[in-house]
Structure 1
Amino acid sequence: MTPISRRLALAAPLALAGCGTVLSEQPYRPRTDWPLAPAPDLHPASRPSRKVVKVHGLDAGPALSDRGLITLEADGSIHRGYYNRWATAPADAATAALMTWLQASGDFAAVVGDGSSVTSDLTVGGTLDTLLAAPARGEARAALTLVVAKPVGIGERPLAQKRLTATAPLAGAAPADLVAAQRAALAGVLRQAVALVARFR
């Protein structure tokens, strides 16, 4: 072995040890999955109708195709969280929440989902268009385009279509603040959704 080769062989373990030190100093950041399930805050109807409502799975808007928390930056760009995300896809969570809120309203005899074979008197569907936090504006936003229809034969006859929007104040920029404000904004939309469907009870 030449003197140069000997020096390179001795230096290699030191270089590797140095790399190991750098890697070990990087903090581990686990992902956090946040539930998106705002609890209903409604006064149940004292005399529910005999109608059954079927809730179709809500579609996801263009920016809500995955679970990362969305933040609207001051320059108008969108940041999608990697370490902080919803426990389930936002549109799926909003579908489950809509069913829960309709049931809690007491306006109907039953609320069922797509997989149910029960004959329904009304159907509800639509698209979750927006769910994000905007720290620069100190708020969170939610928007849902809702369609209420009546089953007719093998199809449905639309009764109402409306885009529902709501905002909620944002207390801070920590992940827990972003989540709490978005839940509150979604609750505002769900409250409007229940009122819209109740018009046809």
Structure 2
Amino acid sequence: MNRRHLLAALPLLAGGCSILPDRPNVPVRRYALAPMRPESQGARPRAPVLQVRRVRAIPGLQDVGLRRLNPDGSYEILVYEEWLAPPADLADAALRAWLQASGLFSAVVPQGSRAEAELVLEMQLTLLEAVPAAGQARAGLAGVLLREERLASRVVETLEVTAEAPLAPGAAAPAMAQAMALALGLALARLETVLAPLAR
């Protein structure tokens, strides 16, 4: 390009001419995953201490975007509709808070605590999705309850719980998040029922 052509192009460059299309500025909405217990019980002083190891997620549930199951069986991650943190991290906090308020244990401590725990809970988040075509949201957890003994850990029970909450077929993202949180709360209530006779 000679000097004359370069000078002719300068006004275009100065004017901010761009061949890239404009992208819409879509705000990201973020949601809590913190189901509320209907009631809270005080800790039992003579009950066992429970350690809850960090909740993991099965493949496909690591994304922070809300997960929707479409009528054709395909999954969709809603990129502008997100949980406040990875769902397994939020489920971990919800699980510990739920069991602490259950009254089944003298204390519920996280992984890494220096407290001596007689029982250890290892769980995975196995299901967390909205299924508008079926009119429901689903949540599920699976894992094991261990009893800590002097030289080893013994499996007390294998655990698996799932639950569904109602969801309108045409529900928007906020309603999906609310329904998934409710489904998780129902799954935690079922887990509490299973743990009750094992915590004695």
Q: What TM-score, normalized to structure 2?
A: 0.86
CA distance in 1, matches of 2:151, 2:28: 44
Distance change in 2, residues 1:151/1:10 (3 Å):
closer
Distance change in 2, residues 1:152/1:109 (3 Å):
same
Amino acid at match of 2:49: V
Kept in 2: contact 1:129–1:143 (CA 8 A): yes
Kept in 1: contact 2:147–2:156 (CA 8 A): yes
Amino acid at match of 2:34: A
Q: 1:79 aligns with which of 72, 76, 80?
A: 76
Report % sequence identity: 36
After TM superposition, give the deviation of residue 46 of structure 1 in Å.
8.3
After TM superposition, give the deviation of residue 31 of structure 1 in Å.
1.3
1:190 paired to 2:188: yes
Specify every segment of 5 or more residues in structure 2 that has no aligned partner in the other structure, as ranges.
Answer: none
Structure 1, 41-50 or 66-75: larger mean CA deviation: 41-50
Amino acid at match of 2:115: V
List per-residue Cα deviations over 1:149-192 (Å, max 9, x = no partner): 10123431111112101000013421111100000100011111
After TM superposition, give the deviation of residue 82 of structure 1 in Å.
1.0
List per-residue Cα deviations over 1:101-130 (Å, max 9, x = no partner): 111111211110102010001111121101
State the match for 2:177 in structure 1.
179
Structure 1, 32-41 or 181-190: larger mean CA deviation: 32-41
CA distance in 1, matches of 2:10, 2:50: 75
Amino acid at match of 1:120: A
Kept in 2: contact 1:144–1:165 (CA 8 A): yes
CA distance in 1, matches of 2:9, 2:157: 77
Q: CA RMSD in A?
A: 2.8
State the match for 2:92 in structure 1.
95
CA distance in 2, matches of 1:115, 1:10: 63
State the match for 2:24 in structure 1.
27
Distance change in 2, residues 1:148/1:169 (3 Å):
same
Kept in 2: contact 1:40–1:100 (CA 8 A): no
State the match for 1:119 in structure 2.
116
| Higher normalized helix content (fraction of residues) | 1
List per-residue Cα deviations over 1:5-31 (Å, max 9, x = no partner): 7xx959957x966868x62xx531111
Aligned residues: 196
Specify every segment of 5 or more residues in structure 1 that has no aligned partner in the other structure, as ranges.
Answer: none
Kept in 2: contact 1:140–1:181 (CA 8 A): yes
State the match for 1:67 in structure 2.
64
CA distance in 2, matches of 1:32, 1:161: 37
State the match for 2:38 in structure 1.
41
CA distance in 2, matches of 1:86, 1:133: 13
Amino acid at match of 1:179: A
Amino acid at match of 2:177: V
Q: What TM-score, normalized to structure 1?
A: 0.85
| Equivalent position SS for 1:163 | strand
Amino acid at match of 2:116: T
State the match for 1:109 in structure 2.
106
CA distance in 2, matches of 1:117, 1:144: 26
Distance change in 2, residues 1:140/1:198 (3 Å):
same
